[in-house]
């Protein structure tokens, strides 16, 4: 599972951790997060994320 980084603030979404505080369970791939999920740090939409290198 690939990590994704927010292009706005640098937050890294790690699918092994998910974002349980915002309803995304551990093990959820970035492609499977809800469409209305936003970056927990800066509130950017998921379209503002790129695969981490």
Residues tagged in the binding site annotation for Fe cation: 6, 9, 39, 42
| SS3 state of residue 19 | strand
Residues in binding site = 6, 9, 39, 42
- Scan for tokens 């695969």, then name that residue: 51
Spell out the residues 6+ positions from residue 36 whose beta carbon is closer than 8 angstroms to its own: none
């Amino acid at each position: 599972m690939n990590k994704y980084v927010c292009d706005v603030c640098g937050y890294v979404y790690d699918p092994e951790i998910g974002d349980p505080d915002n309803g995304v369970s551990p093990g959820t791939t970035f492609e499977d997060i809800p469409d209305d999920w936003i970056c927990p740090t800066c509130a950017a939409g998921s379209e503002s994320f790129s695969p981490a290198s």
